[in-house]
Structure 1
Amino acid sequence: MQIETDFFGAITIEPSEIITFASELPGFPDAKQFVLLPFGEGVPFWSFQSIDQPECAFIVTNPFWIDPDYVFELTDSAKEQLSIEETAQVAVYTTVTLREPFQESTTNLRAPFVMETKQRLAKQIILEDTYPNRQKIGSLTEVGGR
């Protein structure tokens, strides 16, 4: 399947790579299906690219590389909506806002994307004031690096 992307132009993806949102993505009601596209080998960022709207793409990262103590509890309704039975079925991503200099870039720990990895269902959840929506990512430039 060929799609248009914001960062990579036209690319081919497999239908098995598609992530479907189980509920509306706040601010993007027409964007229901996405794909994760890596920015490169060992680079800790992906483009979370909408298949429905080529202009809709988010830079995301693994929040556990930013804050190893990052933890939150999903509600029972979120688990049910995403068909989550065990934590091994879950992937979490947070949006990144790139800034100059790079060390000033931030990630939004308050509103992660949670994905069930088998059925590839996702949902953005909004956490209470537990985490900031602008956590500096520091010198993170490669997987596991700080």
Structure 2
Amino acid sequence: MATRCSHHEDDCPIGVAQNERGDRNCPIIEFAQGIPGFPETHLFSLQPVPEAEGWFHLVGVDEEAPTFLVVNPFLIIPDYEAELPDKLLPGANPQDIALLAIVRVPDSPWEATVNLRAPLVIDVPRQRGIQWVPQESPYSIRHPLFSKCEAVGVSCSS
């Protein structure tokens, strides 16, 4: 049996707490298997991008560890869905699962893409994560972040 993750009312996929002084506590997420391409990096700090709700920097906590720009995939495709095997994060409650997608920003930001095929799956209360790479998916690993019209600064509407 699989868990189907789709849009939740809460647009913030990870609860970022604030203390009494207003300082943000950035959660540390453990990726026990690392992230594909970075198997040696297991701990990442999830830091909100200022004034960009649903956007985060996933920062490896070890020296020289990678940093990724990630986004709530529902901001890119509002009816985004991912079918996750139950064994992916054993013991996780489906309501506690959050999804994030890695953004690739090349030299030209207008050519940025989002990996919607292989989302980061996070068990929020346990602060555990994994990148799920399904064998089949309707989504691309290089979904354009901007339309061609936006890239050249023209309106696409008729």
Bin for the TM-score computed over the shorter chain: 0.7 to 0.9
> Which residue does the alignment assign to 2:85?
75
> Which residue does the alignment assign to 1:123?
130
Residues 97-143 of structure 1: CA distance to partner in whole angstroms, max 9, x if unpaired? Answer: 12465443110011110100101100001022421011112279xxx
Distance 2:141 2:52 in 1: 25
Residues 41 and 65 of structure 2 are in contact (CA less than 8 Å); yes or no, is this contact kept in structure 1? no
Segments of 4+ moved more than 4 angstroms: none
Q: TM-score, normalised by structure 2?
A: 0.69
Residues 42-68 of structure 1: CA distance to partner in whole angstroms, max 9, x if unpaired? Answer: 354311001124441111111111011
> Which residue does the alignment assign to 2:51?
41
Distance 1:25 1:48 in 2: 11
> Which residue does the alignment assign to 2:8?
none
> Which residue does the alignment assign to 2:12?
none
Q: Number of residues paired by the alignment? A: 125
Matched, 1:61 2:71: yes
Runs of 5+ consecutive residues of structure 1 not aligned to the other structure: 1-12, 141-146
Which among 89, 92, 109 is matched to residue 84 of structure 1? 92
Residues 98 and 122 of structure 2 are in contact (CA less than 8 Å); yes or no, is this contact kept in structure 1? yes
Runs of 5+ consecutive residues of structure 2 not aligned to the other structure: 1-23, 151-158
Higher helix share: 1
Distance 1:69 1:53 in 2: 37
Residues 61 and 93 of structure 1 are in contact (CA less than 8 Å); yes or no, is this contact kept in structure 2? yes
Matched, 1:133 2:141: yes
Residues 64-89 of structure 1: CA distance to partner in whole angstroms, max 9, x if unpaired? Answer: 11011210111121041xx3122x20
Q: Which structure would you say has the larger Rg?
A: 2
Identity rate of aligned residues, in percent? 32
Secondary structure of 2:83 counterpart: coil
Q: Which amino acid aligns with 1:74?
A: L
Residues 34 and 50 of structure 1 are in contact (CA less than 8 Å); yes or no, is this contact kept in structure 2? yes
Q: Which amino acid aligns with 1:138?
A: F
Residues 14-40 of structure 1: CA distance to partner in whole angstroms, max 9, x if unpaired? Answer: 5x7211113232211210000111221
Distance 2:138 2:45 in 1: 28
Cα RMSD over matched residues? 2.5
Q: Which amino acid aligns with 1:131?
A: Y
Q: TM-score, normalised by structure 1?
A: 0.74
Distance 2:43 2:51 in 1: 24
Q: Quick one: structure 1 residues 122 and 69, their matched pair in 2 at CA, closer, same or farther if it must change by over 3 Å? A: same
